[in-house]
Amino acid sequence: MSVENKHGIQDPLWVQWTLITITIGFVAIFLALPVAIIFAEALKDGLKTYAIALKDPAAWSAIHLTLLVTAISVPVNTVFGLAASWAIAKFEFKGKSLLLTLIDIPFAVSPVISGFIYVLLFGLQGWFGQTLSDWGFKVIFAVPGIVLVTIFVTFPFVARELIPLMQEQGNDEEQAAISLGAKGWQTFFYVTLPNIRWGLLYGVILCNARAMGEFGAVSVVSGSIRGKTATLPLHVEVLYNGFNVPAAFAMASLLALVGLLTLALKTYLEWKVKQQRRELALVNE
């Protein structure tokens, strides 16, 4: 164990060892074990469980639906994140902190309530429900509802990453581009976008992970109709409650794998952003 002098005085060795042991023990039991158990349960009978679980057409429809929902909600929220961060970070205006608070709202609303407010809007008893149903358009207990609530719960991710990053980078480079005759879009694509690319990617993968894994909000609006409106997490629940536990874990392990990939990418991007920030600090000096 090496010594680090940056942070004040060192603790006695026995204190260090005790705290490190507690840390490793706590993380191992509370965080690592649950993930390990998913793969252990899924692979108990080898890959056979996967073969059986994937023979179920409902599994494929769940995978398909999850990918569809993600493919809509992530780009939509990415465009919003870019627009919001441009408006908020590049300009001064009154009410900025109120706007930031409003953008954060979906993080403060619990998943179940997020789903429920969309039922109040689009359910048959809701504001627009009757009209839409007269037009033959179904939102609740159908795919559009799942897409909408997923957009809601992942709403702030990209914007929240980009706003501080763009504020930190300032306007100098963009102003230089404009004064040299670049158009607005050119400035954005050739100056801003390269500067924020790692932060943008970071926001996008977090948004993606949440979009694929959302459970509470989606389970309120979907009705979990097997093979129709069940996303992958809902399919896991259906299998689990139907006592098809091995298949449930096999499907869950797919989601866990996405989660682990997200974590690895995220760690890499954090390192990248830190590196970029250090370069920026160097330039500013």
Partner 1 sequence: MELTLHVSLGEGSCAKQPMSRKRSYSVLPGFGLTMGYTLTYLSLIVLIPLAALIVRAASMSLEQFWAAAFNPRVMASYRITFGTSLVAALVNSVFGFIVAWSLVRYRFVGRKLLDALIDLPFAIPTAVSGIALTAIYDRNGILGHTLFQWGIKSALSPLGICIALTFISLPFVVRTLQPALEEMDGESEEAAMCLGASRWETFRRVIFPALFPSLLTGFALAFARSLGEYGSVVFISGNLPMKTEITSLLIITKFEQHDHLGATAIAIVMLVASFAILMSINGLQWYLAKKFRG
CB of 96 to partner 1, least distance (A): 10
Q: Kindly state the greatest CA–CA separation across the chain.
A: 73
Give whichever of 16 and 57 is closer to partner 1, judged by the CB atom.
Answer: 16
Residue 213 and residue 150 in contact, taking contact as beta carbons nearer than 8 Å: no
Give whichever of 34 and 194 is closer to partner 1, judged by the CB atom.
Answer: 34
CB of 57 to partner 1, least distance (A): 21
Give whichever of 143 and 214 is closer to partner 1, judged by the CB atom.
Answer: 214
| CB neighbour list of residue 222: distance below 8 Å, 6 or more residues apart | 141, 145, 146, 229, 230, 231, 234
Give whichever of 24 and 51 is closer to partner 1, judged by the CB atom.
Answer: 24
Give whichever of 32 and 47 is closer to partner 1, judged by the CB atom.
Answer: 32
CB of 193 to partner 1, least distance (A): 13
CB of 135 to partner 1, least distance (A): 19
CB of 166 to partner 1, least distance (A): 9
CB of 123 to partner 1, least distance (A): 8
Report the 3 state secondary structure along 116-142: HHHHHHHCCCCCCHHHHHHCCCCCCCC
Total residues belonging to the chain: 285
State how far the Cα of 144 lies from the Cα of 150, in Å rounded to an integer. Answer: 10
Give whichever of 5 and 135 is closer to partner 1, judged by the CB atom.
Answer: 5
DSSP per residue, 169-237 = H-SHHHHHHHHTT--HHHHIIIIIHHHHHHHHHHHHHHHHHHHHH--HHHHHHHTT-TTTT--HHHHHH
* Region of 279 on the Ramachandran plot (φ > 0 left; ψ -120 to 50 alpha; else beta): alpha
